[in-house]
Structure 1
């Protein structure tokens, strides 16, 4: 890993590279569309072409090649999967799907399980790194992952694909969209099933998985100034897994999930477009049932719901000034049944925020804001944030700096669980700093981006298993993460694209006098390098490869259980048969590397897949 790091450092030093095209639009920084050279925060965009080219099934696997991102998966495909940004807890990553906050109120820490989120009909992903609670409130301590499905096509269009491979895996998806008159919209469906592998590393029985996902969008533009947006997303997942008692053991356990996501919003533009208004209701529900044996009634389960009302107004009295004002009300609740216990809880959170974007002179953009959240359990939390972006040459060079505060309310599970809850918990808080620059050369043929960061978290919630009788959640841990992120994109000729990303993250427990003071936080490798290259041959064939190298880490907070580093290589190819028909295939883990992201759980060895894609 040290050699790989030095090699990449040499590449960065020797290669002129650039940031993304200055005309790129970023949504996640403020929740509204912004030119990239107006954004002072670190944001990575995974676009539709990258998603199609990589042929990756899981969103988490796609995110793993993003600077600053680490992930762990307990089980094979479909197993519980957490995504960490810049060394934060996986529960401190805020996740959006088509503008809807989908962190699970019934989860242990309100975290989102990426295990059931497949690429399916996903068309774009934005990853914002750094605390950003001014815009998003609770959870946005490590950063934000914003998942977007496709926008409706002009006229009428669609696509479909079907591939098959290792472990009797079938992956199919289709979508259609179009517009007519005042209406535009689309629907999509994705289906995935596999016989899988044993979840327990020493098991022999295969644990299968099935996932069905559907999404829909409808926009009615009643006039140039007034429109209605409706969006929906649904996931059903069914997973065979192995029971966990200290280490996973082979069993007949089954988990099932039904996830519902809904959005209804009105958009109104006034005063010749100087004032835009958005009022929306969003709804998220996550039902999880667990069975000791398939075919029986569920033995225990969780249900989490979050109903939100949002208002956002954007006022731009002049080109150099933009004001963003917002109000949100959300009502998360959760319910649990099983083991002779039934529990439920609900809280109310009211939030107001204000931000300003000011451009005092050409090339400089300054953003600052404040937010106050009032939580019915623990009271109020106020957060601040500011960032700046300066470009002296119309976006070819961007110098960025940002400061962000974050907070995370204790989850309803942590507050009110019958066995482990603690109603006296206080919110986690963070302060995040970063500085970086992006450089573009040769008309966009090379891009280069480097960012240095630091984040301190106070009152991190910790599970103390020594508190009788069952253990309890308490505020104890202080943590600090610091590091460097770098990314390169090269297009020396039109047919070739080469990308590389490296991140160094030093994330440690800083609890004074604590048992784990100075220890590395679990499952967060210090070094990760990824490199991808794709080439389109003159006769239409596209070939590519991705190499990902992950350093050593520890599975536990005491740093006694080591997870060895690993290197994965994947290769891929696609060939158009006609203008609308294409065949494609890939081999994952080409060299059959043995590795684990969670101790005791299996991962796939070498596996091959092939399929066909049509467009119309």
Structure 2
């Protein structure tokens, strides 16, 4: 249904929160409090806390320690070394960074914040901008590769990226922490906050910011390049408050604000006055309780409000003025449950999940000018029911299964499933992985209801884009030179079939489900630990993609991508992390690449391969104070991840972190 909604989202959150608090507060539930999860525990892959080596899916975890030791400041930076993930950023910090996971489209990667989807409903295709998120308030990032719609619904075809926010330290009534840094390109950044935990309450309040003059994102090879820089200024604030009315009950609220302002460049010409403001509010309230010692149940209500404004004033290159507004709102209401049965017959760690999720998406957007003005004013609602289970057999076989039914207005919904298993083979120090499943991406509000002038009308009868995927992997530990953990080698093979992909019809007057495609490949990884103070890690992803109708490779998916880093800790609190990222040549579609004179290439072209070298060094000077230096693109590579847009130039930032 395309009519605008009239409900007040904050009122809805208040009512759900009150209901949850009343339902979860009885003092008679005096079971032992749930234990804090261990650092290596992964939740995103199955909704069940599971040790990472037993998760029946390919998972990468980036911890807070990783973020600091490697000098990551944005989500795009942190994801560039993830196996199977290709990040393509058309410009500097803030500008559109698209994630292609295992050959899927950028709109096929679902992004979560503390388990809640946050993809912007006003984005025409539903793709996420990975270049916008600062990481000062992020404790860890979990990346699950492969179909995940059985857990999280629409958009999780290529996989899921879950950002998990920082929490107050345990058993610490008060802690102050912060960071400040500065460097080349007039870069200033930092964060600061306070947090604490008492017997019944916990809290965290923090802010963060980054400002940089940056560098020119337009490739210097263009004859018309003027060298104009695309600056960035961004800030964010996070507030979390939790209360435990009983030992087995917790209620918490989280409010997160983020706003960025940055210049937007164009190719093949610089654009001197194209500016974007991008703001997001995210709020959630959540109550959780443990009943009868085995049943964990929780209610959640969350709202995300995105607002993007793009203003481009007249200049020597164009006499027109644009003032585009994109406003997207997403409401999520969720009842989630986990039953921990323990040992049942031959199975142990038997656990089951089930729940209901209600989502409401809205877009109120206007872009461009007549006669080419784009308008989307629509709302969509869906309700999903999910159930899953996990168990361990013979102390070596972990099995997971899940199914989710999404019932949606307009496009009929979808049933997604996933089965997976891991097998420990201690006789040869190896672990095996096998999983398969289906996933889908619902048509976006623009695709269904958007208009462009009088010549384009969205198609409300679009079907969801679908996929079926499988993966099989092995990981082995190899002892050598007196070390049991000298090396860990891994290989994961994957294949995905995409059906009913959405594209323009022949007349470009609407959209249709007209394309099928496939992707297959292998993710190879190696970690060497020749000494206690040295760890070397590398991964190589080989991906083949094809459009079923034409046989052409899918755009911006390189066949080869390699990432390598080392962690060198010689002692005295010093840690040095060099990072090298190499990307092979990648295809661009017709009219999406340019010659040096600025003329368009009318056929499929290939971006040249390129490498980026980064280096971060830190020193824990005292228990409370650390100093660090971050060098980026040390060779000043002019690599173009997207044709015409180069990566940021060489830079150096130095700073300090403290905790008191």
Preserved contact between residue 23 and residue 36 of structure 1 (Cα < 8 Å): no
CA deviations over 1:563-609 (Å, ceiling 9, x no partner): 11101111222223333222211221111111111112232222222
What is the TM-score with the length of structure 2 in the denominator?
Answer: 0.85
Cα pair distance change 1:499/1:286, threshold 3 Å: same
Partner residue, 1:180: 198
How many angstroms does 1:158 deviate by?
3.5
Output the CA distance in 1 between the equivalents of 2:638 and 2:117.
35
Q: Structure 2: which 5+ runs fail to align?
A: 1-37, 220-224, 315-319, 591-601
Partner residue, 2:490: 449
Partner residue, 1:304: 328
Aligned-CA RMSD value: 2.2
Q: 1:467 aligns with which of 507, 514, 539?
A: 507
Output the CA distance in 1 between the equivalents of 2:523 and 2:80.
13
Output the CA distance in 2 between the equivalents of 1:225 and 1:612.
39
Preserved contact between residue 47 and residue 353 of structure 2 (Cα < 8 Å): no
- Aligned residue for 1:414, secondary structure, equals helix
Partner residue, 1:13: none
Matched, 1:484 2:507: no
Matched, 1:289 2:309: yes
- Aligned residue for 1:391, secondary structure, equals strand
Preserved contact between residue 109 and residue 155 of structure 2 (Cα < 8 Å): yes
How many angstroms does 1:243 deviate by?
4.5
Output the CA distance in 1 between the equivalents of 2:264 and 2:272.
7
Cα pair distance change 1:23/1:228, threshold 3 Å: closer
Preserved contact between residue 217 and residue 648 of structure 2 (Cα < 8 Å): no
Partner residue, 2:183: 165
Question: Larger deviation: 275-284 or 134-143?
Answer: 275-284
Partner residue, 1:336: 365
Preserved contact between residue 176 and residue 193 of structure 2 (Cα < 8 Å): yes
Counterparts of residues 247-262 of structure 1 (less than 5 Å): 247-262=268-283
- Aligned residue for 1:203, secondary structure, equals coil
Output the CA distance in 1 between the equivalents of 2:326 and 2:80.
28
Cα pair distance change 1:120/1:559, threshold 3 Å: farther
Partner residue, 1:69: 85
Matched, 1:354 2:381: no
Preserved contact between residue 163 and residue 172 of structure 1 (Cα < 8 Å): yes
Output the CA distance in 2 between the equivalents of 1:284 and 1:394.
49
Partner residue, 1:112: 128
CA deviations over 1:461-496 (Å, ceiling 9, x no partner): 1235x525xx43221111111011122223332221
How many angstroms does 1:537 deviate by?
2.3
CA deviations over 1:447-474 (Å, ceiling 9, x no partner): 232211000010011235x525xx4322
Output the CA distance in 2 between the equivalents of 1:99 and 1:298.
36
Give the aligned length.
583
How many angstroms does 1:298 deviate by?
7.3
Cα pair distance change 1:395/1:111, threshold 3 Å: farther
Preserved contact between residue 409 and residue 427 of structure 1 (Cα < 8 Å): yes
Counterparts of residues 355-374 of structure 1 (less than 5 Å): 355-374=388-407
CA deviations over 1:229-260 (Å, ceiling 9, x no partner): 2222211011112356xx45423111101111
Partner residue, 2:582: 549
Preserved contact between residue 203 and residue 250 of structure 1 (Cα < 8 Å): no
- Aligned residue for 2:426, secondary structure, equals coil
Output the CA distance in 1 between the equivalents of 2:526 and 2:194.
34
Counterparts of residues 493-512 of structure 1 (less than 5 Å): 493-511=531-549
Preserved contact between residue 523 and residue 540 of structure 2 (Cα < 8 Å): yes
How many angstroms does 1:444 deviate by?
4.2
Cα pair distance change 1:395/1:415, threshold 3 Å: farther
Matched, 1:580 2:601: no
Cα pair distance change 1:187/1:297, threshold 3 Å: farther
Cα pair distance change 1:248/1:454, threshold 3 Å: farther
Output the CA distance in 2 between the equivalents of 1:561 and 1:249.
22
Output the CA distance in 2 between the equivalents of 1:583 and 1:434.
42
How many angstroms does 1:314 deviate by?
1.1
Q: Structure 1: which 5+ runs fail to align?
A: 1-21, 512-516
Output the CA distance in 2 between the equivalents of 1:158 and 1:531.
34
- Aligned residue for 1:138, secondary structure, equals coil
Matched, 1:567 2:590: no
Partner residue, 1:609: 653
Matched, 1:215 2:253: no
Question: Larger deviation: 62-71 or 357-366?
Answer: 357-366
Output the CA distance in 2 between the equivalents of 1:540 and 1:368.
44
Output the CA distance in 2 between the equivalents of 1:374 and 1:559.
41
Q: 1:99 aligns with which of 115, 120, 132?
A: 115
Matched, 1:599 2:643: yes
- Aligned residue for 1:79, secondary structure, equals coil
Output the CA distance in 2 between the equivalents of 1:459 and 1:302.
27
Q: 1:50 aligns with which of 61, 66, 91?
A: 66
Output the CA distance in 2 between the equivalents of 1:218 and 1:33.
23
Question: Larger deviation: 419-428 or 389-398?
Answer: 389-398
Preserved contact between residue 248 and residue 600 of structure 1 (Cα < 8 Å): no
Question: Larger deviation: 300-309 or 601-610?
Answer: 601-610
Matched, 1:191 2:209: yes
Preserved contact between residue 44 and residue 115 of structure 2 (Cα < 8 Å): no
Question: Larger deviation: 151-160 or 561-570?
Answer: 151-160
Cα pair distance change 1:519/1:343, threshold 3 Å: closer
Preserved contact between residue 191 and residue 209 of structure 2 (Cα < 8 Å): yes
Preserved contact between residue 532 and residue 547 of structure 1 (Cα < 8 Å): yes
- Aligned residue for 2:649, secondary structure, equals coil
Matched, 1:204 2:248: no
Output the CA distance in 2 between the equivalents of 1:531 and 1:375.
43
Question: Larger deviation: 304-313 or 318-327?
Answer: 318-327
Cα pair distance change 1:394/1:581, threshold 3 Å: farther
How many angstroms does 1:99 deviate by?
2.0
Partner residue, 2:145: 129
Q: 1:327 aligns with which of 356, 362, 369?
A: 356
Question: Larger deviation: 141-150 or 175-184?
Answer: 175-184
Output the CA distance in 2 between the equivalents of 1:396 and 1:345.
54
Question: Larger deviation: 125-134 or 574-583?
Answer: 574-583
Preserved contact between residue 100 and residue 262 of structure 1 (Cα < 8 Å): no
